[in-house]
Structure formats: structure tokens, C-alpha cells
Chain A
């Protein structure tokens, strides 16, 4: 299963980017092969709808789980529409976050946690 994590860099030692739509990179981690791929987030400079575009990016990569800091309403809705589970409040390195996810320590979002436009928690 593929997991997409919003990241500030392209390594497992990179810090999680708390923003989803406007994060620097996505780390796509495969929980079966334990391999990962870093993709740069094309949505980072979108004039609007960054969350939607970023969501399309991770969906097209075949991710089934998204891990991030905060998620806005548009991104939350489209990820729900694509049957993707979203975990929020993640911080630390990508490796830490993957471990926390495996240990069931991450909080699953059942509603958006920020307003549109990456303006942080409401």
C-alpha cells in the first residue's frame, strides 16, 4: 500500500511539511516493498485550488493513505471522494511519521483541519 506524506525535502530524514496543498514535496512510501519515491508538489505555486491539485497528484500516484499536518476543506473532500484515508497532526521526520503510522499513533481526520488557502488550523 502506498502512503503519501507531505514533506519539506526528498529524504526519509526530511521534516514533515505541515501544509498539504502547498507542501514542498510528497514522499510516496510503499509499505510492502519499503521503497519510497519523492515527487515535487506542482501545486505549490497554484493561484488557487492547490489542495485539489495536490490531491490529484497523490491519487494519480496510487496512494491510499495521506499523512500531513493540516488539511483544508477542498482537499479533504476530494480525498474522501477518492476513498483515501487522511491522517493529520503529523510532525517530525518522515521516518518518525511512518513509524507512528505503523504503531497506530496518528490521528485520522474526519473533517478538515484548516481553512482554504493554507492558512493553518481554524
Chain B
């Protein structure tokens, strides 16, 4: 089963929920895979001690122009819908950050002057997070990391998602927002938890994320982090839209302190493990 953890607003607690959910499910004897798909700022590893670490570069094919063969006819720039090519006086100028690696330029070049070469855009790292001393269980963890200045998050995420092992409970920590990277992360999920906070900002961005998931036809429920009894608009909205609120994590000093030290709060406050496992039961019940 693939469960994605997403939110419209940044900083609502996606990584906190993802890692605590993964840990709690492992503690209850399940095989868990955690993928940090927030490739612009992966940080789930901060909560995890990794062993058997590996790293590999991720490439995208981009055009290389053979100036001997090129006649500056302009066909490549004409077919490039991303405007990554420009015909200057004496050469073709290429803007790698705009290229979507569609291959159109090399396909249509009448002189066969364009070949494709690999360009590094980031890396994928993986490892086993062994969470309890002496435990045989661990979280199979992998993350993607986009190099600074790169913008093509979705191809890197597709590469990362190739590691998905559907025999395990797969937890995807998605990037915030509702644009291409978020959609790429949640695509193919069996269920999505939308994390929000009880503020006008949290609610505004929750609505956007709800609309997105409806279009994608992914079943979802809401999870309120830093819950307090001061702002009830999120509750009213969910009630009106008939959306389940699957969990509330209160605004509590102890939880905040553990978080700020990079410690999974469900590890120190084991009563939370049961609550996180219930999230899994909640999905299973809905699927039946």
C-alpha cells in the first residue's frame, strides 16, 4: 500500500508525520519503506540513523549540438516548447534549466546535428534506518536531492519512485504546495493524508490541496498538527465538505521539544505509536 503525506502549506509537519508513522508501523511489525520525495529540501533523514548507505547520481538527457553539422536553420528552437534553445549569429545557445528532456530537438534536426548527453541534476540516497537497538526491523529509506539551482523535480522523483516496493507499506513524504512536484509525489498513492495546522493560512492551503486530490481522484483524510482549541475553522470546513479528520496532534511543549532535537516523538512518547498505527487501520477500514 502506498500512503502519501502531503499539505498545501509548508511547515505543517509532513516529515514529522511521515517519520513517526513509519517508525510506529515498524514497531508494530510491518515492513515499511519511507521515501522522502521533498527533493528540493529533503530532511526526513535528520530523524533517522542510516546504515548501509548508498548514493547515486541522477541524470537527464539534454541536447549537445555538433557545430560542424549545424546550419543554424532554427528548427530545434522552433520545436522547443520550453524555449530552451536560441539561434544566435554563429551558434545555438542552450539553457539546460529550461530543458524538459523531451528529445524533440534531436528528433527534428534535419542535419542530425543534435545528440543527447547526460546532465547530472541531483542524487538519490538510500539506507536502512534501524530504530531500536537490537531490533531486526528497520525502515527502508530513500530520498532524492535536487542540486542547487536545478528546477526539474518531477524527473528526479520518478526515478526515486522506481524504488517503490509495493509488498511493503510505502510512505511518501511529499513536497508542499499543489504544483508539479506535489502532484508527482502523490500520483499513484492509494491514500493521502493532508496535514494542516489550525490557522487561516493552514486552512487556505488545505482547500487548495483538497481540490488537487479530488482532481487526481486520490482518497484522503485530514490530519491537524499543532491542534489547539482556539481556531475551529478547519473543523467546520472538513465537516461541511464531509472530509474525515483522522488525527489531531496537540500543540504540546514536549512534542515540540523532541522535534527540535531531531527525535521522533512517538519513540519517547510510546502511546503515540498506537495512534499512528490507527491511521493505517483507518485506511484499511475505508478500503474494505
Contacts and interface: CB of A to CB of B under 8 A. Distances in A.
Interface of A: 43, 46-50, 52-53, 55-56, 59-60, 74, 77-78, 81-83
B275 interface: no
A81 B91 CA distance: 8
B95 interface: yes
Contacts of B89: 81-83
Contact of A56 (B77, B82, B91, B98): B77
B86 interface: yes
Q: Which of B82, B86, B87, B88 has the most CB of A within 10 A?
A: B86
B83 A46 contact: yes
A81 B88 contact: yes
A47 B102 CA distance: 15
A52 B87 contact: no
Contacts of B74: 56, 60
Given A47-B81, A49-B82, A81-B88, 5 more contacts: A48-B98, A56-B87, A59-B87, A74-B95, A78-B86
Contact of B83 (A50, A59, A77): A50
Interface of B: 74, 77, 81-89, 91, 93, 95, 98
Nearest to B81: A47
Contact of A49 (B83, B87, B88, B91): B83
Contacts of A49: 82-84, 95, 98
A74 B85 CA distance: 11
B179 to A, nearest CB: 12
A56 B82 CA distance: 13
Contacts of A52: 83-86, 95, 98
B93 A48 contact: no
Nearest to A54: B83
Contacts, number: 44
19 contacts: A47-B81, A48-B82, A48-B98, A50-B83, A52-B84, A52-B85, A53-B83, A56-B86, A59-B88, A60-B74, A74-B98, A78-B86, A78-B93, A81-B86, A81-B89, A81-B91, A82-B88, A82-B89, A83-B89
B83 A48 contact: yes
A106 to B, nearest CB: 23
**Chain B CB within 10 Å, residue with most, of A46, A47, A48, A60:** A48
A74 B84 CA distance: 10
A83 B93 CA distance: 13
Contacts of B84: 49, 52
Contact of A43 (B83, B91, B95): B83
Given A49-B98, A59-B87, A77 B82 contact: no
A53 B95 CA distance: 12
Nearest to B92: A81
B35 to A, nearest CB: 27
Contacts of A47: 81-82
A114 B74 CA distance: 27
Contacts of A78: 86, 88, 93
Contacts of B87: 56, 59
A18 B163 CA distance: 48
Contacts of B81: 47
